Structure 1
Amino acid sequence: MSPNALIPSHRKPRRPSASSRALRAGVTGGFLTLAVTGATVPANAAEKPVSETQEMPTITTALATSAAKSADTAEQVAFNYERQALQDSAFSKAAKAAEKDKAEAVKKAKAEAKKKAEEARKAKEAAQARASRSSERSTLSAPSSSSATGSSATLVAFLKAQLGKAYVMGSSGPSSYDCSGLTQAAFNQIGIDLPRVSQDQSTAGKQVGLDNLQVGDILYWGSAGSAYHVGVYVGGGKFIGAQNPSTGIVERPLDYDMPTGAVRVL
């Protein structure tokens, strides 16, 4: 043994080599931790821990999946909002279009109703105008049943002048008459020559209905061609005739002694 073997060395201890350093690594809470031992600590870093730790973010599969889901959710929400907005817009447009169509339909219906009312009014006025013209033509073409003009006026005036005179069978005037004698004398005043007896006078003109009498129509009692009495219609629902010996020549309403028929010679 060397005599110096037991003498403590005064040499500084050797600095551990790089190979004596130990490297520890671990993952804690998603961060990477590195620990280095055996390293020389500077004098001014005495309060620092022996180990130095560096934390780095680590993206895990769960985190990536969660982020992807969040993105999908956000995209779906945005799509839903957009779709709802489009639906609301379409609904609003459809409602406005329906309201417009309804207003147009109401307007059209009112116009049609107004047009039909106007057509009905014009048709009514036209019908009234035609009726008025027809009435005027009838008035101009036929003498009034309540008044006499022209020849019929002369006829009526003569008959009224004979009222009150006597009835005498076979007489033709001028102071007395029988029924056919008075009728013959009256029509002679206007230039019409009638047969002398009632039977012949009842067929002397055109047969007319009692509901369509005109002034100057000859009324008869009995049947046409074999009448036993005659008179003259003077208008206003009355006639003048030589009735019988007790009454003489009188003016009476038709319902006093309703005639059988009438003939028109004017």
Structure 2
Amino acid sequence: MSHTAHIPSHRKPRRSASKIAIRAGVAGGFLGTLAVAGAAGPANAEPVTETIEMPTLTSAGLSAAVAQSAQSTQQVALDLELQAQENAAADKAAKAAKKAKAEADRKAEAKEKAEAKERAEAAQERSSRTAERTSLSASASASSSAPASGSAATVVAFLKAQLGDAYIMGATGPNAWDCSSLVQAAFREVGVDLPRVSQDQSLAGTQVGTSNLQVGDILYWGGAGSAYHTGVYIGDGKYLDAANPGKGVVIQDLSGYPATGAVRVL
């Protein structure tokens, strides 16, 4: 046996062909990567360390994306249509409000004109009545010594000049009366001073029967001294009085509301 048989060999063990091929492949790939990097950029560029992968689209994903896009487009169209409808409704409401305001203004103007006309007519009527009353007063003064028939005519003329005036309890003219204030004012025109209230007027002058009435007689309803209403007989079975708030100053027929009694002061 050789004396060198127990000395380990300094030779490296042989590598297998497969390992050598793998290492050669890795080295070649690495060198190839370096070569590409060197050609693409400067010598001192850093090596690529991140790989970006593009998403893979399948047919199902593509269909979903298309469907989502179509839904978004449809929603936009619906929103635009809704906005258009809201704008149209707002325009319509504005036009209707403008038309209603114009109509209200027209009615208000017409009402104001009508009221102004009524006021003018009422003022003219009051002026006419005042002139007529002034004329009656002048006639009464000029005929203070005239016979009773003339005085009765003056009383009746004054009463007829008040036709249409209002009835208001306690009023004493010139455009509103109660029953006794109207009678008192009429006889004042011929210088006869009557009491203010119906009860006392029913006792003034001479009592006469209702079957023997003369123009100018004072009619009363209720008992003498306790009468609740008075008027003046104007002939032809009629009398004139300030009747009530619903009628005002009117001419009425005795057959519809017969008087209890009458007094004669002329």
Q: TM-score under structure 1 normalisation?
A: 0.44
- Where is the helix percentage greater, Structure 1 or Structure 2? 2
Which of structures 1 and 2 has the bigger CA Rg? 1
Q: TM-score under structure 2 normalisation?
A: 0.44
- Where is the strand percentage greater, Structure 1 or Structure 2? 1
